[in-house]
Amino acid sequence: MSAPADIPVVVVCPPRTLLLDVAGPVEVLRKANLIQDRVRFRVSHVGPHPEVTSSIGLCLSGLAPLPAPLPDGAIVVVAGTAELILGDPSLPGESERAAEAAIVAWLRAQVRPGHRLVSICSGALLAARAGLLDGHACTTHHAACAELAALAPAARVLEDRLFVEDRERLTSAGITAGIDLMLHLVARLVDPASAAAVARYLVVYLRRAGHDPQLSAWLDGRNHLHPAIHRVQDAVSADPARAWSLEALAGIAATSPRHLSRLFNRHAGMSLPSYINSLRVALARDLLAQTRLDMER
């Protein structure tokens, strides 16, 4: 068995870090590391100072210095910030503004082609100040979209999006949308079945809005807690091209074919054939996108 591919993930924690902006996406990566052995996400937490106070008043300590240079192929995750900390009515001071400026300067100097820049919530504002969203479509928390547009007039700010991927720039809306974005990356860098397994572990109910990037085919119908139906969905997700029979899937579910059909409709909200076909279409679309094959071929 070959060694897993290492992907460095550098999580930038600014002053007044929104704690869920860090914990949610990194928890996705932690679980992804546990359930498969093809990819290892090597996570480090960094900042201009070794300690920051988070949005809920909890201190995050042991932060490594902002690395220079960034490792090849690194994913840089920039968390958002809270204006007010729980239990503290004071606004950001000069030292915090200086720390943000240090992050902006570091991003501008270190992020290069081959690095994926991921912003969570208002982390997009720091990326915009570094000039790294110019010429890209992007989003942020709905309350910060106007500020993002002012900071990055050369960017195309999209509102009402859960997350936006434009080449090596990935931006997400408010707070928990960072979980959705990281699931999208796990699906892309590992496989969709692993992303679905992580989503189930986190009890994530898929949310969609307008023209969101689609994980829908792989996570659609997963908004339930029935273990037998999840086993069937896991099997189909792992090999959508297989000629699945109802009898074979009923064996996986340890139930009769007729009962499986009823259970699947009730819990997944669609028929089993519809589910299988949707995954086959999604697989074909992914293959076309990844290989850039012409549809006529």
Report d(CA 9, CA 158) in Å as an integer.
Answer: 26
Q: What string of DSSP letters covers the chain?
A: -PPPEEEEEEEE--TTB-HHHHHHHHHHHHHHHHH-SSEEEEEEEE-SSSEEE-TTSPEEE-PBPPPSSPPTT-EEEE--B-SSBTTB-PPP-HHHHHHHHHHHHHHHHH--TT-EEEE-TTHHHHHHHTT-STTSEE---GGGHHHHHHH-TTSEE-SS-SEEEETTEEEE-STTHHHHHHHHHHHHHT-HHHHHHHHHHTTPPP---TT----HHHHTT--S--HHHHHHHHHHHH-TTS---HHHHHHHHTS-HHHHHHHHHHHHSS-HHHHHHHHHHHHHHHHHHHHT--TT-
- The single-letter code of the amino acid at 80 is G
pLDDT value at residue 295: 43
HSE toward the beta carbon, residue 130, CA cutoff 13 A = 24
Does residue 2 register a pLDDT over 90? no
How far is it, in rounded angstroms, from Cα 149 to Cα 159? 10
Higher-pLDDT residue of 295 and 151 is: 151
- For residue 45, the model assigns a pLDDT of 99
**pLDDT band with cut points at 50, 70 and 90 for residue 296:** very low
The residue among 122 and 211 whose pLDDT is bigger is: 122
Q: Which residues contact 184 (CB under 8 A, 6 or more apart)?
A: 163, 165, 170, 195, 213, 215
Which residues, listed in sequence order, are joined to residue 17 by a DSSP beta bridge?
81
Catalogue the long-range contacts made by 225-233 (C-beta closer than 8 Å, 24 or more residues apart): 226/263, 226/267, 228/252, 228/253, 228/254, 228/255, 228/260, 228/263, 229/253, 229/263, 229/264, 229/267, 229/268, 230/200, 232/260, 232/264, 232/272, 233/196, 233/268, 233/275
- Residue 28 structure tokens: 């996705």
Does residue 252 contact residue 294 with C-beta atoms inside 8 Å? no
Q: Residue 51 pLDDT > 50, yes or no?
A: yes
The Cα 165–Cα 187 span in angstroms is 13
pLDDT tens by residue, 239-284: 999 999 999 999 999 999 999 999 999 999 999 999 999 999 988 8
Six token digits for residue 39: 């990819």
Domains and their CATH numbers in the chain? 5-194 (3.40.50.880), 220-291 (1.10.10.60)
Q: pTM of the full predicted structure?
A: 0.81
pLDDT of residue 232: 96
pLDDT at res. 216: 56
Identify the band that residue 294 occupies on the pLDDT scale cut at 50, 70 and 90.
very low
Both tokens assigned to 112: 């290069």
**What is the amino acid identity at position 237?**
S
The pLDDT tens digits for 170-219 are: 999 878 889 989 998 998 999 888 988 898 888 875 554 435 554 557 77
